Structure formats: structure tokens, C-alpha cells
Structure 1
Amino acid sequence: MIMIDLALFHGMFLFSLLCVQGAATIRTRGASFASSVFNLMNAIMGSGILGLAYAMAHTGIIGFCILLVGVSCLAAYSIHLLLKICDQTGERLTIDTLLNSMSSYLFILKSELPAAINSFSNSENTGGAWYEDGRLLLIIITLCIVLPLSILPKIGFLGYTSSLAFFFMVYFTVVIVVKKWSIPCPLPHNISNSSDSDCTPKLFVISSKSAYAIPTMAFSFLCHTAVLPIYCELDRPTKARMQNVTNVGISLSFLLYLISALFGYLTFYAHVESELLLSYDRYLPRDVLVMTVRLAILLSVLLTVPLIHFPARKAAILILFGGRPFSWWIHTIATLVILGVVLLMAIFVPDIRNVFGVVGSTTSSCLLFVFPGIFYLKISNQNFRSFDSIGAIFLVVFGLIVGVFSFSVIVITWVQGP
């Protein structure tokens, strides 16, 4: 999987050069600073926010805060290295979103769509209606909506929906805070085995499930594939200006992540689900705010999948077929294969924490820590004793250790069972 990710990363790297060289002559005015921050936050914040409360439940409040600060700082530093590479190579690359992220978005649709339909239908029927089967709904949604949008050669018009993503996440966070006061603690005994002792927040927690924490955080801050396109389109682009965009975007995302994770954890404590919205189904199954939050996130996720698919397909075609002229046959086959693989992953993975854990410990760790460090060491002409070279080595070593350790613990947990 790591070799595939490296190939995709390299393919996107090459594709970026071609895109920038073709677009440089027609670029007239770049995006404003505020617009760039907004776009970066849209790239940062995604389905990972749903798993952070679960991560806090299994690391403790202080442990979670320490890890979240560490991962966010390393994310900002690895972007610093990417920007230095751009300046040293004389190119501003346009690398777009990662293939593996699609599996998490489709998994959200699989797990949330049946609950959303049941909520809005106001039906008490639990007799196994077709719309209660998340896998069937996922296949229908993929064939009827995702595939037609993904197969288009240009899908730039979907960018209009990205402006809503940030407001969806703010709305999500506000609702999580408000609903903290709507669910009592201890939780109702007819629903869970909660007791008064479960209402005491834990500051530090260490268990086998703690292995999901850093991969989930890495997945949540994975925006590196969108940094360079934003850099390319930034008005008056300089490394310092783009670094400021990065720092502001990561800081605001960090704030929303921390607030939503904290209040989600303080609502359910150890009983929080690996996908936060599912926790509310047992206690507030017909709540209007929760229903609208679920719908907003589903809409955001649904329209994000084609946007992620487009650059992943371009990178794969570039790797396999080089600079050949556009072919509908190659374009269509690549679209079907990529969507088919991602759809199978989303259908057969039983728990979203496995998506966050596996993707976070492999793909996200590589893109967040390992690849920026490796490419900086390979391309940079600085001495290995320089500050950034030492930092790059640290990122590579840290990413490998975290990825291997987390993935090993996750696999062992799967083998041992519940």
C-alpha cells in the first residue's frame, strides 16, 4: 500500500508540473489570503472530525490535547518543507486530493444514510426495508450520482459547493456543543450500562484502542495534497504568505476539532461511538438539529467524492500511460476501476475506526510525515546538519514509527477480536 501511495504521490507531483506549466500563461489574478485560508480549511476538515471524540475517549483529555497539538504542529512543519521544495525547484505544484480518502467518505454514506432516511421518514419500521441497507444505498448513490459526476473530464463546477463545507463543520461543532446539555449523565440504563463513575472525564487513558488516536488525527489534518494548488493560485504568492495561510487554516481547524471532540466526549464519555453521529441515534433519534447535521455532512461528503476522484484518476493515468492524448476508453476504465475498488473497501470495512486507523497509519502517515521529509532530503541542497534537514529526518522516522506501530496494534486487535 505504501508503494502504491508513493507512486500516486509521484504521479500527482508530475501531473502538477504539467498543470502549472499549462496554466501559468493564463493566470491573471490570484485568490485572496482569506479565500486561500477558507479553501485550505475545506481541504483539512472532512470525515475525520467524526472520529476524534472516540480518540479522546481512549487517550484522555490531556493526552488527546498533547497528541493533537503535536500532530497539527508537525503537519504545519511538513507543509513548510513542501513549500521550500517548491521554491528550490522553481515550480509551484498542483497536487490534488488523495485516492484513499474516498473510502472514508463512502463509508460515512454507508453508515449515515440509512439513519438519515429513517429520521426524516419518521418511521418506526425496523423490518429490514431496502433503504435501511447501507450497502445497497451506497451502491445506488455511487451508480446514480458519484459515477456520473466522476466520469466527466472536467468537474470544476463542483468547486462551488466547497464553500459550504466550512459552514457545515462550524454548524456540526455548534450542534455538538449544544447537545451536550440535552443528554443526561449517567446515560439512560435502558440504553447503556452507564453509571455515575462513567461521568468523570479521564485525563489520561492508555489501551489498545489508543492506537487509533494518532492515525485518526493524521487523517484529520491531511491537507498536503491541496496545499500546492492553493499556493499556485494565491495572490502575490510567496513562501511566507502561504505559510501564514497554512498556520491560520490549521489553527482554526485545530480549534473546531478540539471543541467538537471535547464536547462529544463529555456527552458520552467512554460510550462514545467510533463515528460520533451514531452515538446520538440511541439517545436523540428524532432530534431536528442532529438530523440536519447528518444531512449537511452527507451532502458535503457526497459532493466531495468526485472532486477527490478527478486528480487521483489523472495521476493514475499519467503513471500508467504517460502523456498520451485523452482517450475516453482509458478515462472510463480508470474511473470504473478506481470507484470499484473504493466502493468495495467502503462496503466490506465493518467499522469507520478501521478506515481512520488503517488509512491514517499508512496513507496519512506517509503523506503527512514520511513523503515530505523524504522529498525534502532528496531535492534540497542543504547540509544534513541544517535545522530543516534534521527536522525532515525526524519527520520520516516519526512517521515510520507511528505508522508501523499503529498498524501493527490495529492488526493485532483485529486478530484477537473484541
Structure 2
Amino acid sequence: MDPMELSNVNIEPDDESSGGESTQDSYTGMGSSEKAAISSQFANEDAESQKFLTNGFFGEKKLADYDDEHHPGTTSFGMSSFNLSNAIMGSGILGLSYAMANTGIILFIIMLLAVAILSLYSVHLLLKTSKEGGSLIYEKLGEKAFGWPGKIGAFISITMQNIGAMSSYLFIIKYELPEVIRAFMGLEENTGEWYLNGNYLVILVSVGIILPLSLLKNLGYLGYTSGFSLTCMVFFVSVIRSSVTTLLFPKRPFSWIRHFLIAAMIIILNNVLVILVPTIKYIFGFIGSSAATMLIFILPAAFYLRLVKKESLRSPQKVGALIFLVIGIIFMIGSMALIILDWIYDPPNSKHH
């Protein structure tokens, strides 16, 4: 290159030496019409998508740009992890022990490892789908993948799953709390008093303890009481209440009256379910074969196949997701068939709680 050509090259001053405005500052100072669009087919869907997908050069914005975005809670990572672990290990221990009693140690270990591997793959699909779909919310991914039916399907599955978890805790109260009271009072037999009736105790605990705790706006405070497995049910109530509020009142401001009524209706529904259903195994079986299968197998695979466009249908990733979807459908149909046959040939008996 000759000197004449070099003289025509416009060399920008170095950012650090000249103290000039950085490239990032120039980007954040541009108007909204001048900013580069994020490379996602759903980039304009919602502000939460913008915040989740931005990284690298587009990773910083001015404070004003976040005014309309979704802000997560303020609970620490440690408290959130402890609460989640406590909730999972609460009633889940009952299901694991029941499975081991019916399958044996060797087969139980094999099945446990298989479920763990499948769950990890399900989380992998959800993470990739969230990045492509531009949302961290399960119902939002369902809406982007299949419209209103997808959103309703995800909402119903999450609601059923959490109602099942709530019911398991209430079943423990219904059958075990009367025995604890009887032991403390030194009674040899159940005398028929109201405080030894599990149905009354379920209602009393729900109204006196669970409902007030469920009305808290910040669930992080419950991290200090998560040592008591009963409080784990509060998190399930809150998840359902939040889902119902988002679905039915997506753009309305917060209302304490609506907040209270939704929580109360959820607890009433759950109490009726626990009082009428005689055994906990049918709750575990039905919820596990329907809602849990949808959340773990079917929905993550379906969302991945629908939203991830950059991979062809014959790619190993898409083929794996398709196989995962088929496995989930087979599990759901097979499990539901076995449960229905069990209901027909082995009617519920309250002594098998």
C-alpha cells in the first residue's frame, strides 16, 4: 500500500489513551431506532426476553432501559436452594420409599439413575429452549410454541403438580398428627375427640398456619423456617397462586383482596381433595403419570422441537428430543392405564395410607 492510500485511512483514537467515549457508551447512547436487533426470532416479544438474551457487546444497558423489564426476587441463592431442596425432599421421600418397597433395592437403584439422567436431559432441553424462545417462564414458552393451548397446557400441568405436592403434606397431617397428639396425651386409643380427627386438624392447620404464610409477598422470609417440612407447602401454594394471577389477571395491578381470595380458594380445594381421597398413593400415582410426565418429558421436548429453528429435524439434537417426546407419551399412557386398572381391581382402602 503506497503513502497516498495510507493517508486516506481514518484511524480512530484509542479509547483508553484519549479518554474518549467507549464503544459500549456509544451503543447505550444511541436511540432505540439505531440499536442493533438481537438475533432471535422472538426478540420483540417481551422485555424479559431482551434481558435474558443479551450478552457480550449488547450485555449492558442504561438503567432506564430496565424500567419495564421483569425483575426477579431479592431472595439469596442460598435461601432459594435450601427452600427448593427442602420442598423436593419432603413428600418425595415417601414416594421413593414406596417405590423401593415395590421394586426391590437393585431395580430401584437402576430406575432412580435412569430417572435422574432423563431429568438432566429435560433440563438441558429447557435451557436451550429458553435461550431460543427468549423467556424464562414455562407458560410463556408454551404460548410462544403453541399459542394459547400451549400456555394453558403448561399452566394446568404446573398447577396439578403443585396441588399433588400440597396434598401429600396435608395427608401427612391428616394421618400422623392425630397419632402425635394421642401419644403426647398418653391415650391408648382414639377417643373420638375433634382434635384427634384428621379432617378437622387439616382444616385447622390450613387456616391457622398455611394460609397466613401463603399471603406473604416475599417468600424469602420463609427460608428461615424451611426446617419444618410443613412450610414447604406454602411455596407450592404461592406458585399456583402466582400462575393463576398471571393467567387470569396478566396486566392488572397487585390487589390484596385478589391475592387473598386466590390463596384461600387453592387451600380450600386442596383440603376437599385430601378429605375425600382416602389414600396418598393415588394422589402420587395420578399426578406423577399426568402432570409430572408432561413437565419432565412431553412439554420440554415439544417446546424444543417447536422453538429451536436453527437445527434441522434430522439433526441428532432434534432426533433425541423426538425420541424423548415419544418416551414421555408412552410413560403417560402406560402409567395411567396401570393406575386405572389398579382402581378397578384394588379399590381404595383408607388403612393403606
TM-score (norm 1): 0.57
On the 8 A contact 2:302/2:325 being kept in 1, the answer is yes
CA contact 1:370–1:395 (8 Å) conserved in 2? yes
8 Å contact kept, 2:83–2:232: no
Q: Show the 5 A alignment for 1:274-313.
A: 299-300=228-229, 302-313=230-241
Cα 1:131/1:311, change in 2 over 3 Å: same
Residue 133 of structure 1 corresponds to 197
Residue 172 (structure 2) aligned to one of 108, 123, 129: 108
Q: For residues 392 and 121 of structure 1, do their structure 2 counterparts lie closer, same or farther at Cα, with a shift above 3 Å needed?
A: farther
Amino acid at match of 1:70: A
Indicate conservation of the 8 Å contact 1:78/1:369, yes or no.
yes
1:152 match: 216
1:363 is matched with: 291
**Mapping of residues 279-358 of structure 1, within 5 Å:** 299-300=228-229, 302-358=230-286
CA distance in 1, matches of 2:199, 2:210: 15
Correspondences of 1:6-155 after superposition (within 5 Å): 21-23=69-71, 31=77, 38=82, 41-93=85-137, 98-100=161-163, 101-155=165-219
Amino acid aligned to 2:95: G
Task: Give the Å deviation of 1:62.
Answer: 2.2
Instruction: Measure, in 1, the Cα distance between the counterparts of 2:48 and 2:193.
Output: 46
Q: What amino acid sits opposite 2:104 in the alignment?
A: G
Q: Which has the higher contact order (CA 8 A, sep 6+)?
A: 1
Deviation at 1:351, TM superposition (A): 1.0
Deviation at 1:303, TM superposition (A): 0.7
User: Any conservation in 1 of the 2:182–2:190 contact (CA below 8 Å)?
Assistant: no
Task: Count how many residue pairs are aligned between Structure 1 and Structure 2.
Answer: 265
- Matches of residues 254-265 of structure 1 in structure 2 within 5 Å? none
Check if 1:378 corresponds to 2:306: yes
Residues 61, 371 of structure 1: CA spacing in aligned structure 2 closer, same or farther, 3 A cutoff?
A: same
Compute the displacement of 1:149 (Å): 1.5
Output the CA distance in 2 between the equivalents of 1:115 and 1:67.
34
Contact 2:166 2:237 in 1 (8 A): yes
Q: Structure 1: state its 5+ residue gaps.
A: 1-13, 165-298
CA distance in 2, matches of 1:143, 1:309: 13
2: CA distance, partners of 1:357 / 1:317: 28
Which residue identity does 2:239 align to in structure 1?
P
Cα deviation for residue 386 of structure 1 reads: 2.5
Compare CA radii of gyration and give the structure with the larger one: 2
Structure 1 pair 51–369 and aligned structure 2 pair: CA distance change class (3 A)? same
Q: Residues 46 and 115 (structure 1 numbering): CA distance in 2 closer, same or farther, change over 3 Å? A: same
Per the TM alignment, residue 38 of structure 1 is displaced from its structure 2 partner at its CA by 4.9
Per-residue deviation, residues 272-309 of structure 1 (Å, max 9, x unmatched) = xxxxxxxxxxxxxxxxxxxxxxxxxxx31x21122211
SS class of match (1:383): coil
Q: Using the alignment, how far apart are the partners of 2:48 and 2:138 within structure 1? A: 4
Give the drift of 1:16: 8.3
Deviations 1:243-295 (A, max 9, x none): xxxxxxxxxxxxxxxxxxxxxxxxxxxxxxxxxxxxxxxxxxxxxxxxxxxxx
Partner of 2:341: 412
SS of match in other structure, 1:57: helix
Structure 2 distance, partners of 1:84, 1:379, is 10
The Cα shift of 1:51 comes to 2.6
CA distance in 1, matches of 2:175, 2:50: 38
Deviations 1:110-149 (A, max 9, x none): 1221122223333213222322211110011011111112
**What is the CA RMSD across the aligned residues, in angstroms?**
3.1
Determine the C-alpha separation between the residues in 1 that align with 2:338 and 2:48: 36
1:360 deviates by: 0.6
Q: Given residue 120 of structure 1, which amino acid in structure 2 is its aligned partner?
A: F
Query: SS of the counterpart of 2:217?
Result: coil
Amino acid at match of 2:289: S
Q: Structure 2 CA distance, aligned partners of 1:92 and 1:44?
A: 21
For 1:217, the equivalent position in structure 2 comes to none
- Residues 85 and 376 in structure 1, CA contact (< 8 A), matched pair in contact too: yes
Secondary structure of the 2:252 match is coil
Deviation at 1:37, TM superposition (A): 6.1
| Distance of 1:394 and 1:19 partners within structure 2 | 32
**How far has the Cα of 1:396 moved from its partner?**
1.8
Partners in 2 of 1:397 and 1:39 — Cα distance? Answer: 33
Change (3 A) 1:18 1:43: farther
Are the counterparts in 1 of residues 119 and 296 from structure 2 also a CA contact under 8 Å?
A: yes
What is the CA distance between 1:323 and its match in structure 2? 1.3
| 1:129/1:307 CA distance change after superposition, 3 Å | same
1:389 paired with 2:318, answer: yes
Aligned residue for 1:58, secondary structure, equals: helix
Contact 1:111–1:134 (Cα < 8 Å) also in 2? yes
Structure 2 gaps of 5+ residues are 1-45, 53-68, 140-157, 348-353
